[in-house]
Amino acid sequence: MNKKLEKKIVLTGPYEDVISLDHHFYLKHKLNRICVLPYTISSDGLLDKIGVIKQIDLLEEKENYILINNFNNQDDPTNLVAANRLIYEIIGSNIKNADNWMYLGKINNTSISSDIIIYAVNISNIDINDDPEVNETKQEKKFQLIDSNKVVTSDDALFLSAYLRLFHFFFVQSLIKK
């Protein structure tokens, strides 16, 4: 009883297509979506602050904390270069030290989108640029460092899952140290 589902491209854009499949609509990304979760570590080695941007949820008409995110572009030779570009656009600092970066993996929910590649970056010892242009971008994107215990106030599942992966890493590291 295999019936063939009819897939139809309803709308095409530079970054994604909207596909109709069995009376449902899906996004099919043409490029990798990259997300960055900046964080700071407290003096006792625990997660302290998490870097977020705020975006208006158009359906709920409220602001929500989300990950810094965008698509990679053709000038990015790797996904990590794209992640560094994204954080640079927000804080104005290039984070070249690979030890500051952590690959959190891909998250995929085929019912809503394609793979999303997530990186975390330790910005504890990084100078956040205070140029007027950088400050304008931070204000435009509503970038802020929030206490890590406030992450659970977000309704964004992608943000929450990325944070849980990062939290798991720190939890395991604390167990190893004991």
Encoding tokens for residue 138?
């931070």
Q: Residue 69 falls within a domain, yes or no?
A: yes
**Domain assignment of residue 9, yes or no:** no
57 touches 64 (CB < 8 A): yes
Which band of pLDDT confidence, cut at 50, 70 and 90, is reported for residue 74? Answer: confident
Residue 16, domain member (yes or no): no
Assess if residue 78 is contained within a domain: yes
Q: What is the pLDDT of residues 116-160, one digit of tens each?
A: 899 999 999 988 877 888 888 888 888 999 998 888 877 788 888
- Residues 18-71 have pLDDT tens digits of 888 888 888 777 777 899 999 999 988 889 999 999 888 777 788 888 899 988
Backbone region of residue 21 per phi and psi (left: phi > 0; alpha: psi in -120 to 50; beta: other values): beta
pLDDT-based confidence at residue 3 (cuts at 50, 70, 90): low
Q: Is 148 among the domain residues?
A: yes
HSE-up (13 A, CA, CB side) for residue 150: 13
Q: Indicate the number of domains in the chain.
A: 1
Chain-wide mean pLDDT for the chain?
A: 86
Report the CATH number at residue 93. Answer: 3.90.79.10
Q: Average pLDDT in the 106-113 region?
A: 66
Round to whole Å and give the CA distance between 23 and 96: 46
Q: Which residues of 109-143 are buried (b: 16+ CB within 10 A; e: fewer)?
A: eeeebbebbbbbbbbeebebbeeeebeebbeebeb
**pLDDT of amino acid 162:** 92
pTM (2 d.p.): 0.82
Half-sphere exposure of 63 (CA within 13 A, CB side): 8
Answer for the pair 47, 41: CB distance below 8 angstroms, yes or no. yes
Residue 5 has pLDDT above 80, yes or no: no
> Is position 11 within any domain?
no
Domain that holds residue 63: 31-172
Q: Which residue has the higher pLDDT, 104 or 178?
A: 104
Local structure of 128: helix, strand or coil: coil
111 pLDDT band (50/70/90 cuts)? low
Q: What is the pLDDT of residues 157-173, one digit of tens each?
A: 888 899 999 999 888 88
Is 8 domain-assigned? no
Whole-angstrom distance, CA of residue 74 vs CA of residue 115: 18
